[in-house]
C-alpha cells in the first residue's frame, strides 16, 4: 500500500528555526538536509532533547513485519503513535497493509502524504469529516477508507450526513465490539448484531467486517488480565463467524484488533479466521493495528509486550531517549534536570535515569526520577554513590509510552546509536500533532 515518497522526502527541505526545540541556533535558516550535511553530533543539540535511535527503529519494524507475516495476518500500524510520515513510509515499505488512525484530522494528514489505505479506529459522526471522506473517495477511487460504528444511533447519523453529501458513495464500516468497562464498542454480541443490521439497511454504508480494541480491558500480563483479553477476543471472533454464516457480508470482510500490549493474544484468537478463500462463508483478512512497537519503550511496553522478552532471538528495543542537563544540586542526593512534562512522557511511568552522557557513559544505577514539573525533573541519587553528577552533566533517560513522547516535539533528531559515546545525528523526524 502506497505513500507519496516524494512528498515525504520533501520534508528534508523544510527550514529549521527556533520552533524546533533542541536544535542549535546555528541550524536555524538551514534546511534539515543542509544541517545534516554538516555532520552534527548529539553534543551540538540543546537540552532537553528527545532522540530516536535509527538502528532500533529498523529492528523493530523488521521484527513486527516478520511476526505478522509468519502468522498469516496483515498489519495496519497505528499512525497516531508517531504522526511521523517518514516512519509511516518505512512501515509501509516493510509490507504494512495500511495505516490506522484515530481521528479524521489525522486521516487528512495521511492523505496529504498520499497514504492510500486508512483504517479509522473510531466512529466517524462529524459531518464535516464525513463530507470530506465522501469527496476524497470520489476524487480518488483508489483511496480506501474504513471506520467503525458501535451503535444503531451512530449508523443512523452517518447515513443521514452522507445522504446530504451529493458526491457520497458507500462508506465501508466495521461493527465495533467493546468489552465490560472498556472504551467504545457495543457491549454485547447481540447489540453488535443490531448495529450490523442497521449498516445493512443503510443506503450509504456497507458492512465490511468487525473490529475492536482489547488493550482497554487489561494493563498487565497477570492471569486475570490475560483472561479478560482472551474472553473479549473470543467474542469478537464469534461475532464475525455469526455474521459470515448469516450471509450479512456483501463481500470480503476484515477482522481487526490489536494494540501493542497483547498482540500475541490477538493472533491466537483471530489469526485462524484469516482465509482468502472463505471457509467461513466469506474471504477474511485479519488486520493487527499495533502502533507503539515501532518505537517501543523502557517502561510500560517493555514490561508487557510479548515481543520484548529476553529469550527472543529478535526482540523489540526502545528507540527513544530523553537527554537532560543537570541544572542544580541544591541538596545531597538531589539533582534538578532541565526536562519536564513539556518534554517527556509521564502518564505511563516517570523517566528512568540510565547513564551520564559522554565518553565515560557512567551508569546511574539506583537513581530515580521522583517527579516532573513543567520544565524540571527531580533526579534522586543515592547519597554518596558514584558517579558524581556535576552541574552541567547530561543524563540519558529511558522513557515510557511513545504516544505521549512524540506529541511534545515538532521535530525529533534521529541518531545512529544511542549507546555510542558521541552519537551522530543522521536524520530528523517531522511530526504532525
Tens place of pLDDT per residue across the chain (433 aa): 589 999 999 999 999 999 999 999 999 999 999 999 999 999 999 999 999 999 999 999 999 999 999 999 999 999 999 999 999 999 999 999 999 999 999 999 999 999 999 999 999 999 999 999 999 999 999 999 999 999 999 999 999 999 988 777 899 999 999 998 889 999 999 999 999 999 999 999 999 999 999 999 998 899 999 999 999 999 999 999 999 999 999 999 999 998 899 999 999 999 999 987 676 779 999 999 999 999 999 999 999 999 987 666 789 999 999 999 999 999 999 999 999 999 999 999 999 999 999 867 789 999 999 999 999 999 999 887 767 899 999 999 999 999 999 999 999 999 999 999 899 999 999 999 9
From 413, 330, 395, select the one nearest 21 (Cα to Cα): 413
Q: Which CATH number fits domain 72-290: 3.20.20.10, 3.20.20.140, 3.30.930.10, 3.30.70.1450?
A: 3.20.20.10
3 to 106, 118, 136, 234: CA distances (angstroms):
15, 11, 16, 34
Tell me, which fold does domain 5-53+316-430 have in CATH? Answer: Lyase, Ornithine Decarboxylase; Chain A, domain 1 (2.40.37)
Which of left, alpha, beta for 182 (phi over 0: left; psi -120 to 50: alpha)? Answer: beta
pLDDT of residue 383: 80
Grid cell for residue 23: 536544535
Which residue shows C-alpha cell 511534545? 408
pLDDT of residue 181: 86
From 45, 38, 148, select the one nearest 412 (Cα to Cα): 45
pLDDT of residue 388: 85
**Three-state secondary-structure class, residue 25:** helix
**Three-state secondary-structure class, residue 285:** strand
CA distance 416 to 7: 24
pTM of the model: 0.95
Query: How many CB atoms lie under 10 A from the CB of residue 52?
Result: 28
* Cis peptide bond N-terminal to 380, omega within 30: no
Q: With b meaning 16 or more CB within 10 Å and e meaning fewer, what string describes 216-234?
A: bbbeebeeebeebbbebbe
Q: Where are the domains of the chain?
A: 5-53+316-430, 72-290
Question: In residues, how long is the chain?
Answer: 433
CA distance 287 to 266: 10
Grid cell for residue 322: 530523553
Amino acid at each position: 500500500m502506497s505513500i507519496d515518497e516524494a512528498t515525504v522526502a520533501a520534508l528534508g527541505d523544510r527550514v529549521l528555526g527556533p520552533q524546533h526545540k533542541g536544535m542549535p541556533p546555528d541550524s536555524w535558516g538551514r534546511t534539515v538536509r543542509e544541517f545534516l550535511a554538516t555532520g552534527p553530533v548529539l553534543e551540538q543539540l540543546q537540552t532537553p532533547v528527545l532522540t530516536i535511535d535509527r538502528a532500533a527503529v529498523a529492528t523493530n519494524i523488521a521484527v513486527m513485519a516478520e511476526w505478522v507475516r509468519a502468522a498469516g495476518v496483515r498489519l495496519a500500524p497505528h499512525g497516531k503513535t508517531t504522526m511521523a510520515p517518514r516512519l509511516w513510509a518505512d512501515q509501509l515499505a516493510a509490507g504494512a497493509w495500511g495505516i490506522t488512525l484515530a481521528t479524521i484530522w489525522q486521516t487528512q494528514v495521511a492523505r496529504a502524504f498520499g497514504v492510500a489505505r486508512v483504517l479509522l479506529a473510531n466512529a466517524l459522526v462529524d459531518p464535516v469529516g464525513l463530507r470530506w471522506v465522501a469527496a476524497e473517495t470520489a476524487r480518488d477511487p483508489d483511496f480506501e477508507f474504513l471506520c467503525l460504528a458501535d451503535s444503531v444511533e451512530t449508523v443512523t447519523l452517518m447515513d443521514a450526513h452522507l445522504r446530504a453529501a451529493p458526491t457520497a458513495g458507500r462508506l465501508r464500516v466495521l461493527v465495533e465490539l467493546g468489552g465490560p468497562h472498556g472504551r467504545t464498542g457495543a457491549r454485547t454480541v447481540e447489540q453488535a448484531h443490531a448495529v450490523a443490521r442497521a449498516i445493512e439497511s443503510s443506503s450509504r454504508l456497507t458492512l465490511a467486517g468487525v473490529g475492536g480494541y482489547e488493550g482497554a480491558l487489561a494493563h498487565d500480563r497477570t492471569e486475570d488480565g490475560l483472561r479478560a483479553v482472551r474472553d473479549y477476543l473470543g467474542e469478537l471472533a464469534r461475532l464475525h463467524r455469526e455474521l459470515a454464516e448469516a450471509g450479512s457480508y456483501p463481500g470480503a470482510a476484515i477482522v481487526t484488533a490489536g494494540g501493542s500490549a497483547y498482540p500475541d493474544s490477538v493472533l491466537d484468537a483471530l489469526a485462524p479466521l484469516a482465509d482468502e478463500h472463505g471457509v467461513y462463508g466469506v474471504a477474511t483478512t485479519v488486520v493487527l493495528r499495533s502502533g507503539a512497537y515501532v518505537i517501543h519503550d523502557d517502561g510500560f511496553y517493555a514490561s508487557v509486550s510479548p515481543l520484548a522478552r529476553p529469550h527472543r532471538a529478535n526482540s523489540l528495543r526502545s528507540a527513544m531517549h530523553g537527554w537532560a542537563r543537570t541544572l542544580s544540586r541544591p541538596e545531597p542526593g538531589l539533582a534538578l534536570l532541565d526536562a519536564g512534562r513539556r518534554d517527556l512522557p509521564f502518564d505511563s511511568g516517570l523517566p528512568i535515569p540510565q547513564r551520564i552522557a559522554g565518553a565515560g557513559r557512567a551508569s546511574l544505577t539506583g537513581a530515580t526520577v521522583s517527579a516532573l514539573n513543567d520544565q524540571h525533573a527531580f533526579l534522586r541519587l543515592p547519597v554518596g554513590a558514584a558517579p558524581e553528577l556535576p552541574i552541567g552533566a547530561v543524563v540519558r533517560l529511558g522513557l515510557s509510552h511513545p504516544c505521549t513522547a512524540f506529541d511534545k516535539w515538532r521535530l525529533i533528531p534521529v541518531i545512529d546509536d544511542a549507546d555510542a559515546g558521541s552519537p551522530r545525528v543522521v536524520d530528523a523526524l517531522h511530526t504532525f500533532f
